[in-house]
Amino acid sequence: MVGFGEMVERERVTTAPAPVIAGAGSAAYERHPGVERRTETFIAEAVVAALADAGIHKNEVDGLGIASFSLAPDHAIDLTWKLGMRVRWVMEDSNGGASAINMLQHAIRAIEAGDAETIVLAAGDRMEKREFHLMTDRYNRVARDYLAPLPLNGPNALFAFLTERYGRLHGLEREDFGCIPLAQRAWAGKNPLAVYRRPMTLAEYMESVPIAPPLTRFDCVPIVSGGDAIVVTTPERAARLKGPHAGVRAIRALHNHDQQEGDGIHSGFAEFRDDLWAAAGARPEDLDSAHIYDDYPVMVLVQLADLGVIPDDDVKRYLHKTILEEMWPVNTSGGQLSAGQAGASGGMHGLAEAVRQLRGRAGERQVPDAELALATGYGMVLYTHGACHNAAVLERRGG
C-alpha cells in the first residue's frame, strides 16, 4: 500500500456543504415476474420507494437519471412523463454496473451548479435468462462479432479466466474464493428482499454445479428482475427531512484504463485510490462498511485490494478471517451474488444499500454506528473485462 502517508496531509478537495442522498428504495427482486411486470414497472416501484424513504413528493423532483438495458424503445424522458415529473435535468446512463455512481457523479455537480435541486437516480431491468443472453450476445459490436460466435453466451467464461489468473497470483483455491459467497449469503439471510436467503455451507458451495470452471453456480449472480433508486438533494432541502442522510465525500472514476490490453486483475481502482481517499479525507481503515460491485467473487477481491481495503498482500487471510469469520460488513444486502442481479440495477444495488446503512435503515443487518461507507461500480466488458471503474465514499450526515 503506497501513498497513504502523504494522503492524510492533503486538504479535502470537496467544497461544503455538498449535496446529500436523502433516501433509497428498491423494487422487490423477482426471479420470474409475470408478463405484466415490465422494466418500467420495476424502475417506477423503486422510484416510489426511494421518494417515500426520503419523504419527498414526486412534484418536488426536478431531475431524473435512468440506467437500464431493457427500457427500449423508451428512454428517460418517457419515464419522466409516465412518472408525472417536470424536470430541469435529465440523463440516461449506459454504463451498466458503473452507471449508478456515474449518474451520482453528474447529479452532484448539477445540484451544486444549481441546474436542479432534487434528482432521482434509478436503475432497473426486467431480466430473465433468455433476455440476459440476448443482451450479452449483443452487448456491443465486439461481443456480437468476436465473442458470441465462439459461442461465449455471457461473461462467465471471461471471469473464469480472471478467477484462475487471480488465484494463481495470490495462491487461492476455490474454498478461498468461496468465503465471499458464503459470507454474503449469511448477510442475505437478514435481507427480506434477497432472492437467496437460505444459509449456505462450504460443502454446498464446493459441490455446486459447475458453470465455467473454476466458477460454479454460487460464483455467478442469479439473474433477476428488479430496480433500485436514490434521491439526491441539496443540504438545505435535506435539513427539512428526516435524517440522517448520506453525504458524498468523494467520487472518483477511471474508464478504459488499460485499453482491454491488461490482465483484468490490475484495475483502474488502483490508479485513483490515493486520490479518492485524499478527496474523502479518510482512509480505508475508517470504513464501517463496503458495498463492492460483485458480479463475481474475484472482482470483489480485485476492488477491495486495489482500493486499499485489504491492508496487505495476504488476500487469503483477509478472506477467511475478515470476511468470513469476523463478517466485516462487505455487501450487507447479500450483494448481487445472493440478492440477485437485476440488469443495470446491479450498479445501484450496492449504492442503495450503503445509503440504508448510513441512514440506519438496514433492519436486521444494520451495522452499528455506521458513519463511513464505500460503494463501487464496475461494468461494461468490452472484450475481456470491465472497462468502467468508479467508487464513492459516503458519510452519515445530520439526523
Partner 1 sequence: MSAPFTVPCCRVCGHLAYPPRILCPECGANDWTRTLADSGIVTEVTVRRPVFKRRQLPWGDWLDQEAVRLAAVHVDVGERSVRIVSRVPEGVETGDRVTLVAQASTAIALPGQVVEAAPDEAAPARSAAAAPESE
Per CB under 8 A, residues contacting partner 1 are: 129-130, 133, 142, 145-147, 149-154, 156-158, 160-161, 164-165, 168-169, 209-215, 259, 261, 263, 265-266, 383-384
- Which residue number, 186 or 211, has a Cβ lying nearer to partner 1? 211
- Which residue number, 165 or 255, has a Cβ lying nearer to partner 1? 165
- Which residue number, 23 or 167, has a Cβ lying nearer to partner 1? 167
Q: Are 91 and 65 in contact (CB under 8 A)?
A: yes
Which ranges of 4-75 would DSSP assign to H, the alpha helix? 4-7, 39-54
Identify any residues that bridge with 391 across adjacent strands, giving them in sequence order: 252, 376
Exposed, middle or buried, 214 (CB in 10 Å: 0-12/13-18/19+)?
A: middle
Q: How far is the CA of 386 from the CAs of 14, 85, 107, 170, 320, in angstroms?
A: 28, 34, 23, 21, 26
Min CB(230)–partner 1 separation in Å: 33
- Which residue number, 66 or 265, has a Cβ lying nearer to partner 1? 265
Min CB(173)–partner 1 separation in Å: 15
* Nearest-5° Cα angle at 241, 236 to 245: 80
Radius of gyration of the chain (CA): 20
| Cell 467508487 -> residue | 391
Min CB(261)–partner 1 separation in Å: 7
Min CB(346)–partner 1 separation in Å: 19
Min CB(204)–partner 1 separation in Å: 18
Identify any residues that bridge with 375 across adjacent strands, giving them in sequence order: 291, 392
Q: How far apart are CA 246 and CA 114, in angstroms?
A: 20
CA-based torsion, 337, 258, 316, 354: positive or negative = negative
Min CB(101)–partner 1 separation in Å: 25
Min CB(219)–partner 1 separation in Å: 12
Exposed, middle or buried, 207 (CB in 10 Å: 0-12/13-18/19+)?
A: exposed
Phi, psi of 180 (to 5 degrees): -70, -55
- Which residue number, 114 or 141, has a Cβ lying nearer to partner 1? 141
Identify any residues that bridge with 21 across adjacent strands, giving them in sequence order: 232, 246
Q: Describe the crossing of helices 268-280 and 297-306 by its angle, rounded to 10 degrees.
A: 50
Min CB(213)–partner 1 separation in Å: 6
Helix (H, G, I), strand (E, B) or coil at 109: helix
Min CB(127)–partner 1 separation in Å: 14
Min CB(157)–partner 1 separation in Å: 5
Q: At a CB cut-off of 8 Å and minimum separation 6, what does 6 contact?
A: none
Identify any residues that bridge with 247 across adjacent strands, giving them in sequence order: 20, 395
Return the beta strands (E) in 78-170 as ranges: 89-93, 118-125
Q: How far apart are CA 263 and CA 158, in angstroms?
A: 11
